[in-house]
Amino acid sequence: MFKKKSELSYRKLLDGVNMATMVHGKKTLMARFKLEKGCAIPDHSHPHEQTGQLLSGRMVFTVDGTEHEVVPGDSWCIGSNVPHSTRAVDDSVAVEMCSPVRARLSGVIRIQRIQGPEISSKR
């Protein structure tokens, strides 16, 4: 599968967080995220391993209770079922890969909070 950057279609996941699926296969999914300064993705976990790289901006991840500031060019790998959250210090763009493929093919992304209700965002 090949996809041109001009073909990307962004969907709102949460306030200030937009995602475009770049490509996906049977076992992996690659997505591009645009995060607005000050937005946050709440503490959650999922069975997918998540790797990524920050292309622009500045973000702070909290992974299993430890904060990690990332700047353009920095990368990360968050293991399966590890609690994590993030906040955008500046307007930011990141590319992430998940394995196995996340439920995006069902038309719904679910973020399971560590505490509190599940967040659903239809696409």
CA atoms within 13 A on the CB side of 15: 4
- How much is the average pLDDT of 72-83? 97
For 10, 17, 58, the CA distances from 36, given in Å and listed in that order, are 14, 7, 10
Which pair of structure tokens corresponds to residue 45?
A: 């976990």
| CATH superfamily for domain 5-116 | Jelly Rolls (2.60.120.10)
Residues 84 and 43 sit within 8 Å (Cβ to Cβ): yes
Q: What is the pLDDT of residue 115?
A: 46
**pTM check: above 0.85:** no
Residues 84 and 78 sit within 8 Å (Cβ to Cβ): yes
Mean pLDDT computed over every residue of the chain: 85
Dump pLDDT digits (tens) for 15-62. Answer: 999 999 998 888 888 999 999 999 999 999 988 899 999 999 999 999
**Percent of the chain whose pLDDT exceeds 70:** 82
